[in-house]
Structure 1
Amino acid sequence: MKAISKQAQNSRSRSKPQDPDWDGIPSTFRSGGLLPPHWDGLFGPLRNGTVDDLVVIAQMGQSLDGRIATPTGHSHYINGAAGRAHLHRLRALVDAIVVGVATVVADDPQLTVRLVHGPCPARVVLDPSGRAAADARVFATDGARRLIVTAATGRAPLPAGVEIVNLPLTDGRFAPAAILNAIAERGFRRILVEGGPATISGFLAASCLDRLHILVAPIILGAGPAGLALAPITRIDEALRPAVRIHRIAEEVLFDCDFSARRVPVFRTKGPAREA
């Protein structure tokens, strides 16, 4: 019965809000057509890779004091309706979403495009030891491709059609560059790393992000997990200083951080490899 209810839920999700300013943007974006200036400023950089054939973006929402949840893990919702719509617009423009298994276990997300018009991307779950439940909503049959990246053997069966990608572990984790290469080999070029914070931090630390969208909501939580956790530095001049574009989204502020200058090459289908 649970699987049936999920199919019904996904069917309902295909009835999406109408927004004349946005509704034609996903098709225009993918065809290479001219975008209105306000959308081009936000999403134009995602059209083509500058390092290789991929564009890799991560997105996170956080409070003014850099928290992504309360100490109890409650996070619904730090960002308001406009901020959540921005995330769904990103989903509508990419080929695949990547999430870690901790996000799947904790939140059971759908990872579909529901709040705006646009196609649903493939869903990729990073699950080293086979923790994801077969009835998790990311594996629901709704027309989108579903992949699980794992090092586990002999795990419980997954729903029909879920593609299994086997990768080795390094110190208990998948190498972000290996993840991107495996995804790219399966035909995906625009990739959204959506969570959780450990996954996004790992991609950033490995120089495997072109851009990072940090959407800051005007609230202060005072305590709780931070959005990013990187190796400690001893001097301010060791800090990452990306080029940043700032956008206002309703009452929230979006920092569009450009890390493409430091992203390592991962995948190229044509022509000579470029220098990092």
Structure 2
Amino acid sequence: MTHGIDDEMMHRCLVLAERGRLNVTPNPMVGCVVVKRGKIVGEGYHKRFGGHHAEVYALRQAGMSANGATLYVSLEPCAHVGKTPPCVNAIIAAGVKRVVAATHDPNAIVSGKGIRMLRASGIDVQVGVLRKEAEKLNEKYIVAMKSRRPYVGLKIAQTLDGKIADLHRNSKWITGEESQRYVHQLRAAYEAVLVGAGTVVKDDPDLTVRLVQGRAPTRIVIDGSLRIPIGARMFRTNGGRTLVLTRAASLERKRRHVLRLEANGIQVFGVRTSAPLSAGIIRQVLGMLGITSVLVEGGSRIFSRFLDEGIADRIHYFIAAKMFGRGLSSFESKTGRTVGSPIVLDDTSVRRLGTDIYVEGRPVDNKSGKRR
């Protein structure tokens, strides 16, 4: 089989994998195609967290045609028992002759194991077709597995002059409907969403996924002094689990409030520090709690904390064609930045969402030239 056909079929795997974006987190997106005599006889993708893997759907569709066929998959087939049986067993049992994988599984515990098992069974295995494209697709999963920390994205909705709220601190709604719909897609694609207490008190968001069909993220509030009201909307609406991170001193001092929160199913965690919870500490605690990716949605102090500390893997900017002149800025650095030492965006993409502009990229500290 030629490399051209390998590229074509792997591209199809990536297209299929993308279909699971809003429902598989914290799992990776995976697509699979079974090909025999140059024709696709089966295909599938991982549809939801806890559900069957892409290889299972593709092999089921292929049926007996899988015998002697080539199986293309965007991530190394699993060789361990998790929520589902190992995919390598199904591939071997189906009589597949050749397996082409885009990339190894980044999880150090299992990486390469599936490939070794397939080769030990006499199956020809090739790894690396469209590797870069496959790794970009599952960037959040790869960072979490390799770095053992959550992947951090910042979602900032602002005006042309950089304001996330007007002079009265009003922020609903700066951007239009298409941007709001895309925000809900982002929420579904991240395992968790995070806001500061000020955002909860002022805006009273519910932080759910309503405008698209997708999984509900874990909701996290950073509240060092435990000032969020028990009647906040996010505590009353159905969604993913809800966590509050606070200082240990506040947790002990406001025990009655904590008990009321916990009675409503909210988990409260105290961190022993007298200073405001830093972005580094927040990321560390979330990693200890098993969170693999988090979308930070505000407000200004939280954004500034993460950017000043270099704790951001990607920024999602939604820019409305409006100007306030005065208001709350999205980012206020403690030290300030000069023309020669800004934070810049790398790997940038730009597109229109209705009347808004969407800019996405990876923040780079221009002082060192290193990606954050």
TM-score (norm 2): 0.58
Query: CA, structure 1 residues 259+170, in 2 after alignment: closer, same or farther (shift >3 Å)?
Result: farther
Deviation at 1:113, TM superposition (A): 0.4
* Alignment correspondent of 2:357: 253
* Alignment correspondent of 1:101: 197
- Asked if residue 112 in structure 1 is aligned to residue 208 in structure 2, the reply is yes
Name the SS for the 1:191 alignment partner. Answer: strand
In 2, the alpha carbon distance for the partners of 1:100 and 1:58 equals: 13
In 2, the alpha carbon distance for the partners of 1:143 and 1:114 equals: 10
- Asked if residue 168 in structure 1 is aligned to residue 272 in structure 2, the reply is yes
On the 8 A contact 1:55/1:210 being kept in 2, the answer is: yes
In 2, the alpha carbon distance for the partners of 1:93 and 1:55 equals: 12
Deviation at 1:177, TM superposition (A): 1.4
Name the SS for the 1:238 alignment partner. Answer: coil
* Alignment correspondent of 1:154: 253
- Pairs within 5 Å for 1:163-202: 163-171=267-275, 173-202=276-305
* Alignment correspondent of 2:177: 81
Amino acid at match of 1:138: M
Segment of structure 1 superposing worse, 149-158 or 138-147? 138-147
Query: CA, structure 1 residues 178+223, in 2 after alignment: closer, same or farther (shift >3 Å)?
Result: same
Deviation at 1:141, TM superposition (A): 5.8
- Pairs within 5 Å for 1:185-224: 185-224=288-327
Structure 1 runs (4+) greater than 6 angstroms displaced: none
* Alignment correspondent of 2:110: none
* Alignment correspondent of 1:63: 159
Deviation at 1:134, TM superposition (A): 1.2
TM-score (norm 1): 0.77
In 1, the alpha carbon distance for the partners of 2:274 and 2:363 equals: 24
Q: Give ranges in structure 1 of 5+ residues lacking alignment.
A: 1-21, 264-276
More strand by share: 2
In 2, the alpha carbon distance for the partners of 1:47 and 1:256 equals: 18
- Asked if residue 48 in structure 1 is aligned to residue 147 in structure 2, the reply is no
- Pairs within 5 Å for 1:237-252: 237-248=340-351, 249-252=353-356
In 2, the alpha carbon distance for the partners of 1:143 and 1:61 equals: 22
On the 8 A contact 2:21/2:29 being kept in 1, the answer is: no
More helix by share: 2
Aligned length: 237
Amino acid at match of 2:163: R
Query: CA, structure 1 residues 234+192, in 2 after alignment: closer, same or farther (shift >3 Å)?
Result: closer
Segment of structure 1 superposing worse, 225-234 or 117-126? 225-234
1:177-206 CA-to-partner distances (Å, cap 9, x unmatched) read 111111121121011111111101101111
* Of 19, 23, 26, the match for 2:22: 26
In 2, the alpha carbon distance for the partners of 1:160 and 1:56 equals: 28
On the 8 A contact 2:154/2:297 being kept in 1, the answer is: yes
In 2, the alpha carbon distance for the partners of 1:137 and 1:234 equals: 37
On the 8 A contact 1:150/1:167 being kept in 2, the answer is: yes
* Of 90, 95, 100, the match for 2:186: 90
| RCO higher in structure (CA 8 A, sep ≥6) | 1
In 2, the alpha carbon distance for the partners of 1:162 and 1:141 equals: 12
